[in-house]
Each structure stands twice: as C-alpha cells, then as structure tokens.
Amino acid sequence: MALYRKYRPSEISSVVGQEETKRIISNAVINNMVSHAYIFYGPRGTGKTTMAKILAKMVNCEHLVDGVPCGECNSCKNIFTSNDVVEIDAASNNGVDEIRDLREKVNLVPSICKYKVYIIDEVHMLSTQAFNALLKTLEEPPSHVIFILATTEVHKIPLTIASRCQKFQFTKISDNLIVDRLKEIAKLENISVKDDALLEIAKISNGGMRDSINLLDQLRTYTDNDITVDDVFKVCGTISYKEMTELFINIKNNDIKYVVEFIDDIEKRGINYTKIIEDMLSFLKDILLYMSSVNEQYIKSNMDSIVNVSKVLDKNDLYKLLHKLDSVMENIRFTTRPSILLTTGFIELARDMNDEQVLETNNLKTKSVQEEEVVDKVETKLEEPKKETEEVGYEEYYNMYDFDGVINNTFAVASKEKLANVREKWNNISNYLVDKKYNPFVSLLIDTEIRVCGDNYLILSSLYESNILDICTKYDEIKKFMKVLLEDDYDYAIVTEEQWNDLKDEYIKNMHSGSKYEVRELNIKKIDKKEKKSNKKDNISSLIDIVGEDIIEYK
C-alpha cells in the first residue's frame, strides 16, 4: 500500500499545518454550526481532500467526543463504503453527467448517515453547464446535504457559486512540518533517512505533503530503505547545491578541465538538461537576492551554498551566468547535443570572467606572448570605452566577404568525396572544447552544418540568425580555426537553412538546364573592423531595466 494512503490522517488533529482552518471547522462541528457548502482552496497536496473526508466523518459520527469521531458507530465504520459520501473528480471530465446525477439524487435522504456529503475535487474544471446545474442545487440545498468544493484555482469558480460557500484557504506546509511528519513515517516504516535528505525532499515538494510522502515512498524502493541526500537528487533527476556551488566556483577559477568533466558526469547520469538549468537559474536568483540583502524568507536555496558562492563570485559574474544559462535554455531544444552547448557556454563564461580580471588588475604591461592577443583586445577596449560601435548587419558581411562569390565557387568545385572527408574532420570539433584558443569558435560552429564542399570552398548553414551573425563578426578568426580543424584553407559562406534550400533548388535547376558554375576571383572588401553589437535585449537585461537589479526575480 502506498505510504501516502497508509498515513492519510483520519482525525483533524493529525492533519499537518492549516491550524486556523482546523480550529474553525472543529468549533463549527462541535457547536452544530456546520455550513451547507464549503470551498477548500490552495496548492496541491496541502490536505484539502483529506480535510473534506474528515469533515464528512465528523458531521456524521453518532458519538462525537470533543470533535473527534468515535470510530465505532455505524457511520464511522461504513461511511466511505456507503453512498452517502460522493466524490466527484471534475478534472477527469467536465462533470455534466455527474452534476445531473447529483441533481437527481440530491433530494434522496442519506442511507446510513445524517448528511450526504458531496466532495467535488478540482471544481474549477467543471463546464459552465455543470456549474449552472450545481448553482441551482446550491441556491436551495436540502438540509441533509453538505457540499465541499476543493480547488487549486479558486479564482476560476464563478462568483455566484463562491458567494454561497464558506471559504477556507489551505496554505503550503512549511519545510519543518513536512520534515517532522516524514520523520514519523520513516520511523514507523523502519526507513533510514538522513536529516538533510528529508529537508531536500521537503524543498522539492514545495509545501505539498502528498508529494513529499510519495517521494519518500519512491526513494524507499530506489535505495532499499537507506536514503541519503544524493539519492534524493538522483531520483529527482537534478544536481545538488554542493555540485552547483563547486561548478560555479570552478568556472570563476577558469578550471576548464573541471567543467568538461562535470558535464561529462551529468551526461552519464542521464540528467534532464532543462531541469538542471532551471535549478541553476533559481539558485543563482537566490544568490543574487542574498547579495542584495533581500529578506531571507524569499530565499529557498541552501543557505550555506549561497554564502559559499557569494564569497567567490560578484554580482557581475552572477549576471553573466544568468544571461548565459538563459540563452542556453533558449537554444537547447534545437540542439541534439545539449551537453556541448552547455560545456561551451561555461567555458566561454570562464574566459569572460577571467578576461575581466585582466582588465581589473590593469596589469597590462607585464604580458606574456600568449596573452598578447587578449591584452590587445583589452587595450582597444580601454582606448575607446564609451564609443558606440556602428552596427553591421548580415547583408553587409554578406557583401564584405563576397558570399555570392564563395557560393558560386563552392558549387563550381563541389565534390561528394570532399564533403564526406571534410565532415569527418569536422566531427573532431569537440576535441577543441578544452583548447583555450579555439573553444569560443567551437560553440559558434556547433550548430552549423557543412552543406557543400570542394577544394578550398565550403557552404555552412545554421538555424539561428544570431548564430550566423556571430560567426560573421569572427569570420577571419574562424577561418584560421577551420584551417586547424580541416587541415586546409577554406573560404566559406554562412547562410540560413531557408537560404540553403533556395540555393539548392537553384543549383538543381541550373544543372538541369546545363548552365555551369565557374570559379571566379572573390571580391573581398577591406572594411574597417567594426564590431557588431547585439541589439537584441534578452529577457534578463530588460527585467533588470524594469525592476532594478536589486529586486530582480528570475524564474
């Protein structure tokens, strides 16, 4: 038997939390002031249906003592097998038939109990028709009937119905109360479980007792009765705060090896990437709140972990992490290799955070040969720090690098063998992930595809316009990287999937009509190096604009 059913409270005093509701309902029953219609509303798993059943039992017990059912009388023993308690799940259908049935039978007197109790779960899901039928009954309820309407979305209940009911709000149950209850159950069931594991179960269940007990149940089976916090993370397909803390700190420390191994481990564990990015985002949000001295009651993540990260990362780093994870999240559904997307993203961040440090220390004179490139960049930044760079769009790059010419020449020299050969080399691209010099280009090229290739020319396509633009801005550097990767020089054009389909059609048409492509000299223009700045503001920066960074709440 499921733990949740086994430990479902049968008395009002054993319901966890909801103190005010319990007190008012007990008093009403004791003083014979029971209403004919109730609405129990609040989040899932907080005890609404349980309380409804307990209330049904309380109002019907023949020998109620201080609001506690005797457990001996005919009603106590048989109430839930009689027809006097009717449960309707409005979520499973629109409820029209059930409500019609209800209207037909509502005037019949109960068979063994004093009151017939109708419990309508997820009542907001009833159709308008069903609500109208219910309303007619509620307008003049027979004296032997009690309605208990339970819902997670009280605002969806028509006002005409809601105004005829006494309303009780059920609130999320605190982590501490959930932990205490789980401890009791674990003890009775001989389950060995660590305190931090219980706390994590409570947090994951987000105030829902039912979810927490179900999770304990699941963990018991998974671990053979000995549950640690890591088991909780594993079963829930997520990563621990400790792991996130170490990851963020190692990104800051520019430990690329750690990052690569970390993602490798995630991959092996078969964790859902969307889920872990969500977890990371809410952890980062909490760190940001903590650093902005927001009241700790709004912070849900593990406090020790938050403090540890905030000792090493500053707000700027957090924003960078948030931005990067946000964009990874946006693209993750389009890629078949989320692990690479995430790895390259983190490596870029590590570089980015450490470039900043070069800038901060202002230690530009003592540079080693390898650092020259980085420092050059920094110096350019320093010379013109405020000047807005003029924006260069895709079309300009298209002309600048004579993509028309490249495309023409690629078709002129295209060969299937060459394409197969180049694609094979292209597959080694992930080897450059750990290479500091080249890994930024890996992340740009990972979502592109080589469409046609011949001697020294190739055409790439990508699904994303922003990706294409990023590649164009680094055209020459990527060309150098391709030389390393493909072991030869290539002039390349990058186009969208749509453009590629058009090009392909045109090529086929030309082949049929017998017109030939001939290699011509490329007309690559020398234009002052301009930097394309993305004018697309992402969600987070606009949020920060609106609310100011101190109260940003990112979900």
Kindly list the residues in this chain that would bind Zn ion in the complex (CB under 5 A). 61, 69-70, 73, 76
Q: Locate 445 and state its tokens.
A: 């090229």
Q: Please, which residue, 76 or 157, has the CB nearer to Zn ion?
A: 76
Sequential DSSP letters for 189-205: TT-EE-HHHHHHHHHHH
Please tell me the total number of residues recorded for the chain in this structure: 555
Q: Residue 488 and residue 370: Cα distance in Å, rounded?
A: 24
* Nearest distance from C-beta of residue 77 to Zn ion, angstroms: 8
Output the CA angle 342-343-346, nearest 5 degrees: 85
CB of 57 to Zn ion, least distance (A): 8
73 vs 519, which CB is nearer to Zn ion?
73
Task: Name the residue nearer to Zn ion (CB basis): 75 or 301.
Answer: 75
Q: At closest approach, how far in Å is the CB of 79 from Zn ion? A: 9
Closest distance of CB 308 from Zn ion, Å: 55
- DSSP string spanning 84-131? SEEEEETTTS--HHHHHHHHHHTTSPPSSSSSEEEEEETGGGS-HHHH
What is each CA distance from 275 to 238, 280, 332, in whole angstroms?
7, 9, 11
* Greatest distance between any 2 Cα atoms in the chain: 101
What letter would DSSP give residue 65? B
**Kind of pairing between the strands at 37-41 and 145-151:** parallel
Which are the contacts of 343, defined by CB distance < 8 A and separation ≥ 6? Answer: 259, 260, 263, 433
By beta-carbon proximity to Zn ion, the closer residue of 111 and 415 is 111
Burial of 411 (0-12, 13-18, 19+ CB in 10 A): buried
Distance CA(41)–CA(171), nearest Å, equals 9
Least Å from the CB of residue 212 to Zn ion = 30
Query: To the nearest whole angstrom, how small is the minimum distance from the Cβ of residue 30 to Zn ion?
Result: 14
Burial 316-349 (b: 16+ CB within 10 A, else e): ebbbbbbbbbbbbbebbeebeebebbbbbbbbbb
Minimum Å gap between C-beta 78 and Zn ion is 10
Q: Which is nearer to Zn ion, 55 or 341 (CB)?
A: 55
Q: Which is nearer to Zn ion, 61 or 284 (CB)?
A: 61
Question: Least Å distance between CB 114 and Zn ion?
Answer: 11
Q: Shortest Cβ distance from residue 74 to Zn ion (Å)?
A: 8
d(C-alpha 51, C-alpha 58), whole Å = 10
Instruction: Compute the least distance from the CB of residue 8 to Zn ion, in Å.
Output: 18
| Residues facing 174 on adjacent strands | none
**Is the Cβ of residue 61 or residue 185 nearer to Zn ion in the bound state?**
61
* Shortest distance (Å) from residue 58 CB to Zn ion: 9
The least distance separating Zn ion from the CB of residue 25, rounded to whole angstroms, comes to: 17
Select 75 or 238, whichever has its Cβ closest to Zn ion: 75
The amino acid present at 532, given as its one-letter code, is: K
Closest CB to Zn ion among residues 61, 138: 61
Tell which phi-psi region holds residue 176, choosing left (phi > 0), alpha (psi between -120 and 50) or beta. alpha
**Nearer to Zn ion by C-beta: 73 or 524?**
73
CB nearer Zn ion, residue 73 or residue 91: 73
Q: How far apart are CA 342 and CA 348, in angstroms?
A: 10
- The answer to whether the beta carbons of residues 30 and 62 sit under 8 Å apart is no
For the chain, the 3-state helix, strand and coil shares in percent, each to the nearest 5, are: 60, 10, 30
CB 241 within 8 A of CB 302: yes
Q: Closer to Zn ion at the Cβ: 70 or 249?
A: 70
